Chain A
């Protein structure tokens, strides 16, 4: 018999997977995996601030991640440091500040493991609501900026020359990234969110021939990972985040078989 908490986790997880599917494709296409890491590291600061000010966690994480992301875009334009150095700088300094703030909050008991790796026991009905409403909003906005975002992913100058305003699309996309991290942090945990974004999308890349197909397969892969991961998490009493990511890794390995086959066909 399935427990209530498990059903809640399942509904929440499936909601997350539908949103990470298409966003993950863009993360791969635009080479943003380290950007995702930076945002999720900074999420710790968001969580601690939420605790210390008794503020909603998702909202607090969203605000901090979005601020860090916009700071990054600003710094990229204003400094001579390479992108990866800036990412590392922001990731680790926000992580450090987050940990320092935790030190000050000795009066609150933190479930650090839950924060890092996700905790299905902690998913409440309110969390489900945040995931599904927030997720729907993210997908809607992504749909609206799809054309300029995708065109500038293929070629920035074409998009700019033909009047699609790729810079605006980039800023909006960055905020959407902060949004997905905010809504999925409880499910997957802040260390593994990037995995949830890129592994199903990477799996999808191996088996798809067009961008639309890759988005569809990425969503299906994510949904399947959540189902497989959560059931094994229940069965083996493992943390939800790592179980989901491990399941998606399993799917990725399966998808490699397809690559081998298509290479064979070519020869």
Chain B
């Protein structure tokens, strides 16, 4: 446990219900500076709900949320932009914060979509839009990044490159990341702490600890457990943007 001032957001026994149905209950976790916390779990296990509790989008919750930062970047899982809005990528980038041209170009270049800056948001493909979403979240240099399946719809090589980028951002900006992902392979190589959800916290700990956990095995199967443990020796290689794995 590090000292208190490193904690960006802390959930204590948090839960949320709609129409008397608990979406998630009894979640305790904390995200610290320069740490990546990953939420995993099956569909409907409350991953996005947990993220929304942490972000303060859901207000009538059980338990408590303690948020120590206002500089937050969020990539939601689902986002629908209305065609009634004439919105270019540029307008979307400055949606919640005034940024200068340079910062915008830099962020868009990092996710490989700077050429789309003046395009209408509605004309982008799913993968392109996802890259714009990620660029927008990192452009404001947040202290806390909440990424809800940030690479969905992105091509395979792009996916690996974006996860590399997320890791790099966490190191460079010293920001904490709350990550939700289905892709155990790619995510685990960079995660510091895993929380396995299934309506409640099934188990949590380092990727290695979680992999050994019986509840995790029951939820994801023996194979998934092997995936996690394979990444225990995660510092002996790097992924290039071409999708190759290089030994250090």
Contacts and interface: CB of A to CB of B under 8 A. Distances in A.
A154 B85 contact: yes
B85 A160 contact: no
Given A154-B81, A154-B87, A162 B74 contact: yes
Contact of A158 (B79, B85, B88, B120): B79
Interface in A29-55: 29, 31
A99 to B, nearest CB: 34
A72 to B, nearest CB: 20
Interface in B68-88: 70, 72-74, 76, 79, 81-82, 84-88
Contacts of A208: 86
A130 interface: no
A151 B96 contact: yes
A248 to B, nearest CB: 18
A210 B73 contact: no
B65 to A, nearest CB: 12
Interface string A200-241: 000001001111011000000000000000000000000000
Interface in A115-164: 147, 150-151, 153-155, 157-164
B55 interface: yes
A147 B96 contact: yes
Contacts of A163: 70, 72
Interface residues on A, range: 20 to 34
Interface string B200-229: 000000000000000000000000000000
Interface string B71-115: 011101001011011111011100111000000000000000000
B146 interface: yes
B169 to A, nearest CB: 16
B56 interface: yes
Contact of A161 (B72, B92, B140): B72
B57 A161 contact: yes
B76 A210 contact: no
A210 B87 contact: yes
B76 A158 contact: yes
B87 A205 contact: no
B230 interface: no
Contacts of A158: 74, 76, 79, 95-96
**DSSP class of A's interface residues: helix, strand, loop or mixed?**
helix
Interface in A149-204: 150-151, 153-155, 157-164
Q: How large is the interface on B (under 10, 10 to 19, 20 to 34, 35 or more residues)?
A: 20 to 34
A28 interface: yes
A262 to B, nearest CB: 11
A48 to B, nearest CB: 35
A210 B140 CA distance: 21
A159 B52 CA distance: 12
Contacts of A162: 72-74, 96-97, 140
A149 to B, nearest CB: 11
Contacts of A28: 84
A232 B91 CA distance: 39
A214 B86 contact: yes
A209 B96 contact: no
Pick from B87, B92, B140 the residue with the most CB of A within 10 Å. B87
Contacts of B82: 29, 154
Interface centre among A154, A205, A208, A211 (most CB of B within 10 A): A154
A164 B96 CA distance: 7
B95 A154 contact: yes
Given A155-B95, A158-B76, A158-B96, 9 more contacts: A29-B82, A29-B85, A155-B81, A157-B55, A158-B95, A161-B52, A161-B57, A210-B87, A211-B85
Interface of A: 28-29, 31, 147, 150-151, 153-155, 157-164, 205, 208-211, 213-214
Closest 6 CB pairs of A and B: A161-B55, A161-B74, A162-B96, A163-B70, A151-B95, A160-B57
Interface of B: 52, 55-57, 70, 72-74, 76, 79, 81-82, 84-88, 90-92, 95-97, 120, 140, 146
7 contacts: A153-B85, A154-B95, A155-B81, A158-B76, A160-B57, A161-B74, A210-B87
